[in-house]
Amino acid sequence: MLKQAMWVGSGSGCYIHHHHYHHFRNPCNLPPSSTSPAAVAMSASPQSKQSHISVNTPIIAESYPIPLSPPLPAISKQIELNRATIASSNSDLFSLSKTHTIYEDEWLLAVNKPQGIYCDSVLSSLQSQKTAPPELHLANRLDRDTSGVMLITKSHKVASNLVKAFTDHKVKKTYIALCTGVAPDWETITVRSGHGRSKFGAWRVYAFSDAGRGLPGGSGVREMETSFEVLSINGKGSFREVCESEFEGSSVVVVEEKGVKMDGGDGNEIVVRAYPRSGRTHQIRLHCQYLGISIIGDVKYEGAYEWKGRVHDGHHLHAETLSFDHPVTGIRVMLRAPLPQWVNQAFANSTNIDSVHEKS
């Protein structure tokens, strides 16, 4: 089991956490991460200055944070290209219907976005309908291959109110992911790390302590946090209701070192529920990869392309719920998307899955 995190050191403020899968560096032993002092001009003749600069002065490259998650696998480039081509074609043909509707009122429309369809295509399909309101906006976005709750507002004012709610972290979300890897030795866990684009443009995990530091291209490392609970391992488990109190006293991993992938045991099928506390791009996918339980089909982040004898055309991540105070009425709303087939299959032997379907 995980040990609790603790503060150690003589007033040094070094945060160390012990975890079965990961080793974390002690920031106290590292040199300062601040940039190198600027060069000081010397009083000399122009000739000697030129000689000094070209011969004696070392060229100091700008220091950027080092990503802690691996680069994109070579196999992912062609697979992702093929998926994007197919998704583009399918998205052009997509037509939003009543069967996709989860919730609708005078101000909001929530739909269940299918896997492999772009968000903008869902919005375009709605805008093309004769009865569509003139001021439609996407309140949240999902990755191309992520299915589930997508919220659309029907006026600029409502859109503005929801943007503020998202910014103030008053909107709660949960996702279901189907993963493979070493069976976790935790039931619940919270991961805190940095997030940013590497010099090649890929999203990567960075050390939590790197938050605020600059990256190539002018962007920077930002904090991201996700809580996870294990719902099932190899079909053994139950589909529980969403419950934030699950994480009271839960262990916290503060990422400061590369994840260490354990050998053996990669054949486990694991279903987790994710509670993102921030809204970073590919956040859940990156944190699953870091924990050694990459999402099936997520070839960008080491997920299995082939599993149980078949090829998976997209990652198995589903936006399960979205809850918030209604921007007009103030009433608390929880939107729940119907579960995809792969969830049904993962819980084929569970007695609790039917009750969830009745509520979805």
Q: Which residues are catalytic?
A: 143
Element (H, E) at 76: helix 74-93
DSSP 281-323: TTHHHHHHHHTT-PBTT-GGGT--SEETTEE-SS--EEEEEEE
**What DSSP character marks residue 161?**
H
Closest CA to 262 of 292, 289, 286: 292
> 62: which 2 tokens?
């700008």
**What DSSP character marks residue 235?**
T
Residue 145: CB atoms within 10 A of its CB come to 22
HSE, CB side, 13 Å, CA atoms: give it for residue 64. 18
Dist CA 117 CA 166 (whole Å)? 23
Dist CA 63 CA 70 (whole Å)? 19
Task: Report the relative pairing of strands 268-276 and 222-233 from DSSP bridges.
Answer: antiparallel
Dist CA 179 CA 269 (whole Å)? 6
**What DSSP character marks residue 149?**
E
Summary count for the chain: helices (H), strands (E): 7, 17
Closest CA to 193 of 36, 9, 19, 41: 19
Dist CA 133 CA 94 (whole Å)? 19
